[in-house]
Structure 1
Amino acid sequence: MTVATMLARFALTAILATGLAAPALAQANEPGCRPEMASYRLPIQRVNLARDEVRLTFIGHATFLIETAGGVKAATDYNDYVRPPVTPDIATMNKAHSTHYSRAPDPAIKQVLPGWDPSGKGAAHHDVTLGDMRVRNVPTNIRSYGGDTDYDGNSMFVFEIGELCIAHLGHLHHPLEPGHLRALGRVDIVLFPVDGSYTLDQEGMLEVLKAVQARVMIPMHFFGGGTLNRFLSRSQDLWPVERRERPEVVLSKATLPAKPTIIVLPGH
Structure 2
Amino acid sequence: MYKVYNMNSVKIEGINIQWFGNSGFLLEGNGKKIYIDPYQIGAEPAFDDRADILLITHEHFDHCSPEDIRKVRRSDTTTLIPESCSLEFRGDARRVAEGDVLADGLEIKGVRIDVVPAYNLDKPYHPRELGVGYIVELGGLRIYHAGDCDFFPEMEDIRADIALLPIGGTYTMDEEEAARAAAAISPKVVIPMHYGSEGIDGDPEKFKAFVNSKNPDINVIILDV
TM-score w.r.t. the length of structure 2 is 0.71
- Match for residue 162 of structure 2? 189
Residue among 127, 134, 137 paired with 2:115: 137
The question of whether the paired residues in 1 share the 8 Å contact of 2:174 and 2:202 is answered with: no
**Secondary structure in 2 matching 1:206:** helix
Please give the alpha-carbon distance, in whole angstroms, between the structure 2 residues aligned to 1:180 and 1:237. Answer: 20
Aligned residue pairs: how many? Answer: 196
If asked which structure has higher relative contact order (CA below 8 Å, sep 6+), I would say: 1
160 and 59 in structure 1: CA distance in 2 versus 1, 3 angstrom threshold: same
Correspondence 1:87-126 to 2 at 5 A: 87-95=50-58, 97-103=60-66, 105-106=69-70, 107-108=73-74, 110-118=77-85, 123-124=97-98, 125=100
Q: Which amino acid is the alignment partner of residue 262 of structure 1?
A: V
Cα gap change, 1:149/1:57 in structure 2, threshold over 3 Å: closer, same or farther? closer
C-alpha distance in 2 between matches for 1:175 and 1:202:
11
Partner of 2:36: 76
Q: Distance in 2 between matches of 1:195 and 1:162?
A: 29
Residue by residue, what CA displacement relative to the aligned partner does 1:109-152 show, whole Å, maximum 9, x if unpaired? 52111134448x99353543234422221022248xx9376222
More helix per residue: 1 or 2? 1
Q: CA deviation at 1:153?
A: 1.2
Larger radius of gyration: 1
Which residue number corresponds to residue 16 of structure 1?
Answer: none
Q: Is the 8 A contact 1:68 1:132 kept in 2?
A: no
Q: 1:151 aligns with which of 128, 140, 143?
A: 128
3-state SS of 2:62 partner = helix
Contact 1:136 1:158 in 2 (8 A): yes
Select the residue among 144, 147, 159 that pairs with 1:170.
Answer: 147
1:243-262 alignment runs, 5 A limit: 259-262=217-220
Deviation at 1:232, TM superposition (A): 2.9
Q: What's the counterpart of residue 91 of structure 2?
A: none
Alpha-carbon shift at residue 68 of structure 1 (Å): 1.2
What is the one-letter code of the residue matched to 2:220?
I
2: distance between equivalents of 1:96 and 1:195? 18
Cα separation, 2, equivalents of 1:175 and 1:264? 20
Larger mean CA deviation between 101-110 and 84-93 belongs to 101-110
Distance change >3 Å, CA 68–CA 198, structure 1 → 2: same
In structure 1, C-alpha distance between the alignment counterparts of 2:192 and 2:8, rounded to whole Å: 19
Q: Distance in 1 between matches of 2:108 and 2:60?
A: 27
Q: Alpha carbons of 1:152 and 1:44: their partners in 2 closer, same or farther (altered >3 Å)? A: same
| Correspondence 1:238 to 2:197 | no
Q: Secondary structure at the match of 1:203?
A: helix
Calculate the TM-score normalised by the size of structure 1: 0.61
Rounded to whole Å, the distance in 2 between the matches of 1:94 and 1:63 is 10
SS in 2 for 1:99: coil
| CA distance in 2: counterparts of 1:170 and 1:191, whole angstroms | 8
Q: Conserved in 2, the CA contact under 8 Å of 1:76 and 1:91?
A: yes
> Is contact 1:115–1:153 with CA below 8 Å preserved after alignment?
yes
Residues 142 and 44 of structure 1: is their aligned pair in 2 closer, same or farther, counting only changes over 3 Å?
A: closer
Q: Which amino acid aligns with 1:100?
A: H
Q: 2:194 aligns with which of 221, 226, 246?
A: 221
1:36-47 paired onto structure 2 within 5 Å: none
Identity of aligned residues (%): 24
Deviations 1:131-186 (A, max 9, x none): 4422221022248xx937622211110001232111011111x2221x4443x3x2
Using the alignment, how far apart are the partners of 1:93 and 1:158 within structure 2? 12
- Structure 1 gap segments, 5+ residues each: 1-41, 241-258
